Amino acid sequence: MERFRNWQKGGFTLVELALVLVIIGLLITGVLKGEALIQNAKVKKVVNQKDSLTAAFYTYYDRYNWYPGDAPATVTDIPITGHTDNGNGNGQIDANNERWVLYYDLVQSQIINGGYTGVANDVPTNPFGGTAIIQYWGTPPGSATPLNANSIVFTQIPYDVAQEMDRKYDDGVYNTGTMRANTVYTATTVKTIYWRM
């Protein structure tokens, strides 16, 4: 009986402690890797959303010779019913109703799915909870040079994700190239991304 009591007072061996530490290390590594995988999946979803919207935008143009949302009221060869808020035909998706009507046109022409009605702010969301708006931008906020193109604008993008996307798909500089952010990447606030189509 005395041996049994002495054995209980002995505590853990070094091997047991090392094994516990290895298991804890593996769990922490797994959690961190899991978070990185989730973040990478969201980045890929944003990129896929950009590619899908760009393809839909140009499919509409190939089909009707007008950009979605931009066709003037006098155009009668676009078979979209119930659409009365037409664009000005200048080839730019303007900040007026054109950027809202664009998604209605894409849905009505059966290029994308959804229930977009063409009213203000009725647009898709991106994987980070912000919006995905197609609009013409001359010089986006914070840019060094003009963009002068129809672009997809993603809001509420985390700063580190915005920087990673810019490094992978453009020049890595927040205010130049085909992808722009509204502020420097070192500022840890969420970003608005302007990505030329």
Whether residue 3 is contained in a domain is answered as no
Q: Residue 8: which pLDDT band, with cuts at 50, 70 and 90?
A: low
Q: What is the pLDDT of residues 56-97, one digit of tens each?
A: 999 999 999 999 999 887 777 777 766 566 789 999 999 888
In DSSP terms, 180 is beta-bridged to: 194
Rank 1-5, 20-24, 37-41, 115-119 by mean pLDDT and report only the highest: 115-119
Residue 154 lies in a domain: yes
Is 2 a member of any domain? Answer: no
Q: Is residue 43 classed exposed, middle or buried when 0-12, 13-18 and 19+ CB atoms within 10 A define those classes? A: buried
The number of distinct structural domains making up the chain is: 1
Domain boundaries, position 146: 14-196
Backbone torsion region of residue 31, taken as left when φ is above 0, otherwise alpha when ψ lies between -120 and 50, otherwise beta: alpha
Residue 150 placed within a domain: yes
Q: Which residues pair with 134 in a beta bridge?
A: 152
Which stretch of DSSP H or E encloses residue 149? strand 149-157
Assigned domain for 6 exists:
no
Structural domain contains residue 117: yes
